Structure 1
Amino acid sequence: MAAAVQAPPQATEAPSLAYKQVPETEYDLEWAQLATLDISTFDQPGGKEALAKQLEAAIQTIGFFYIVNFGLSQEEVDRQFAIGKEVFELPTDEKLKYRADLENGGYNGYKPLGLREVTPGVHDNTEIYNIPKFIPAHAERVHPSVINDNKPEIEHFARHIHDNIVGKLLVLFAIILELPEDALTSHHRYDQLSDCHLRYMKYHRRSAEDNAKLENVWVKGHTDFGSLTLLFRQPVAALQVRGADGGWRWVKPLAGSITVNVADALQFLTNGFLKSSIHRVVAPPPDQAHVDRLGVLYFVRPEDALELRPVQSAVLARLGYDVNEDEAAVGITAGEWVKARVKGNIGKDGKRLPLNGLEQEVIKGKSAKYYD
């Protein structure tokens, strides 16, 4: 874990890039009640232990939480929104030069708009650009000029997230599990192969007619592939989380925050004690229906070679989550799980298949569920 935060490199080729966030909705929505962790207290005496208790209480209910004071300024965050905006404004032919190898489980690069027919006559409304870790294994990957021109700044941003935010959160989960503090960080090393990536994501606004066909649900309820997902605050209300009661509640764009959710790998590694959080994306309220929803996210995934076998933890044993050895003998690596989930809904023609069922087998008998 990095001990000190250095000043971010400044982009030299595109100093004019800027981004202004849109106003929040004025609608009184049913907001989820999420805990807020101030991770600037992590290194204070007793700080990480107090944060672990707070986090343990938070994940008993909904599996989503906010973090604040994470060592990046709003200007640095908005710069990433500006870069993402520029990427998606490139001509389609230019963006397609960097298309991700989705058919073979590859997720780095560009995912075009409208690959999946989500309901007859209506396709998905998302564009994605994923930037992998800045390690030698990805050194030959080509990017559009807006990425290359701002590469030092993007790399600083991504490395800060991994070293100074993700590293601390994984220590908190280790404390909750009564494991050595490096029990999880040792399987999430930045310099090792994994599918961790920084993502720019754009949800294009929809017509009222299309929203009616979709019953206002843009992306069905689902879980994420890796260990954690970090969503930088953006004001367009569209994300909803599923509570223990099965009800959906909106995630409020809390100022100066990152929204974090638990994902599949941590559920596998704890035999279900940490639950992969179910969430979906819906049409924004009427006062935001006319704008596109731009997102900056960081996806945390274990090293590819890690077998997703439950860890040996006194907490898991005490609470009845200790592993059944016969079931655990059939291992799936983190890399296999990610690739299988990516390509599992890709057809031979390169188009994403519709999610006709609410559960789909992914690999070796393990399934992914989708929720209305």
Structure 2
Amino acid sequence: MATTTETVTLPYEQAPETAEDLDWADLITLDLSKFERDGGKQELAVEFQRAIEEVGFFYVTGHGLSREDIDTQYALAKSVLSLSPEQKQLYRAALEAGDYNGWKPPGTRDLIPGVKDNFEIYNIPKFIAEHATRPHPEVVREHWSTIEAFSKKIHERIVRKLLVIFAITLELPDEEWFVKRHRYEEPSGDHLRYMKYLRRNEEENRKLGGVWLKGHSDMGSLTLLFRQPVAALQVLAKDGKWKWVRPQTDALTCNLADALHFLTNGYLKSSIHRVVAPPQDQAHIDRLGVIYMVRIEDSTDLVPITDSPVLQRLGLTSEEVLDADGIPVKAGEWVKQRIIKNLGSGTGSAKGDNSESDVEIVKGIKIKYYE
């Protein structure tokens, strides 16, 4: 008989990195320990400029989280996702209604005929009143205060600083422009994510061409990926080639997402990335991840910022993102509809062949996918 909880084992042992010589992306690193120094924020904004010019991916160090903090979350992720399907089913996310909090089982949609997706997720929303009564497995409740502290540290020590850097980069009069629209206590889709890609056999990988999750953009403002040594993440570079994203010791991997893209008319690029089969020396490992998803407040209109001198000089302040009815898209509704379309429909609606027909329509707006 299955137990009601799983043991959280520390210290958590990460998988060894691949020994293969892969075509790694050249990404900048933002050292947030500079933030409080005189001129530090401005220096970081200059460094961030390169991420904008490249692919919208970058590393973050000096983030104030200890290795123990992060390893504890990996141990929790392993425990939660090791529960039996029957136990996890009690917390299944209402994907069909656009709610991704809770458990997303593997195999909820077809990638190609006969092959379903191989990832499962457990999302824990930020710690505000509207989520206070949401049920969670016992192992989560047992470590509730630890998870809450981790979530709030991420917001205060990392997210807030990055949002200030973005505002300075855009030369906004108020360097807290983004901070004021990403308040932790206000309704938005921020969540901590435990995620696992299950290993595939050679036959499935052959049928998929090695692509486990098609090239796509993320829904919110920012995605923060804690060190994940199993190589599988790739980013679409400016030259149209896929580059591997290398894990860095004590660094987070960050990427920009849809909301910032819409608010800046594409100046802050929502980076295109995908997940592929790991190298041969890691092919036998289930790929466990800890991720923090940053979402702008639900009520925000996703229209270009008008008081950025940078966007004004580039002529990027006038083209609004409107839905099929000519109404500005709200951030919360954008995320909800993308979830329904992408995860709640039960099918992979885009072929992933890089063609113009390889799109899905969300709120009257085209979302393109890439193989």
TM-score category (smaller protein): over 0.9
Matches within 5 A, 1:166-315: 166-179=159-172, 180-312=174-306, 313-315=308-310
Superposed CA deviations along residues 86-112 of structure 1, whole A, max 9, x for unmatched, are: 011101100000000100100100000
1:322–1:98 CA distance, 2 compared to 1 (3 A): same
Paired residues of 2:265 and 2:317 also in contact (CA < 8 A): yes
Separation (CA, whole Å) in 2 of partners of 1:325 and 1:306: 13
Distance in 2, Cα, partners of 1:17 & 1:26? 26
Give the corresponding residue for 1:3. none
AA aligned opposite 1:264: D
Distance in 1 (CA, whole Å) between partners of 2:319 and 2:178 is 21
Provide the rounded CA distance (Å) in 1 between the counterparts of 2:7 and 2:281: 32
| Shift in alpha-carbon separation, 1:326–1:23, aligned structure 2, 3 A | closer
Residue 45 (structure 1) aligned with residue 44 (structure 2): no
Task: Give the corresponding residue for 2:368.
Answer: 369
For residues 289 and 320 of structure 2, the distance between their equivalents in structure 1, rounded to whole angstroms, comes to 41
Q: Specify which of 335, 338, 343 is matched with residue 338 of structure 1.
A: 335
Q: Which runs of 5+ in 2 are unaligned?
A: 1-5, 352-356
Which residue pairs with 2:354 in the alignment? none
TM-score (norm 2): 0.93
Question: Residues of 1 paired with 2:150 and 2:13: CA distance?
Answer: 19
TM-score (norm 1): 0.93
Instruction: Decide which moves more: 56-65 or 145-154.
Output: 56-65
Query: Is this contact kept in 2: 1:17–1:83, CA < 8 A?
Result: no
- Could you tell me how far 1:355 is from its partner in structure 2? 2.8
Name the counterpart of 1:360. 360
Output the amino acid matched with 1:362: V
Post-superposition offset of 1:345? 3.4
Secondary structure in 1 matching 2:171? coil
Query: Does 1:153 pair with 2:155?
Result: no
1:34 Cα deviation after fit: 0.3
Q: Offset at 1:274?
A: 0.9
Is 1:54 the equivalent of 2:47?
A: yes
| 1:56, distance to aligned residue in structure 2 (A) | 1.0
Number of residues paired by the alignment? 357
CA distance in 1, matches of 2:322, 2:135: 41
Structure 2 counterpart of 1:305, one-letter code: S
Per the TM alignment, residue 14 of structure 1 is displaced from its structure 2 partner at its CA by 6.4
Whole-Å separation in 1 of the counterparts to 2:348 and 2:247:
31
Shift of 1:58: 2.2
RMSD: 1.6
Q: Give 1:327 deviation, angstroms.
A: 6.0
Q: Within 2, Cα distance between the matches of 1:198 and 1:343?
A: 20
1:316 is aligned to 2:311: yes
Question: What per-residue deviation string (whole Å, max 9, x for no partner) do you get for residues 76-129 of structure 1?
Answer: 101100000001110110000000010010010000011111112111000100
Query: Secondary structure at 1:98's aligned position in 2?
Result: coil
Q: Deviations over 1:149-198 (max 9, x none)?
A: 00111011110111110000000000011111110010000000000100
Q: AA paired with 1:342? A: I
2:186 is paired with a residue of what secondary structure? coil
**Residue 245 (structure 1) shift:** 1.1
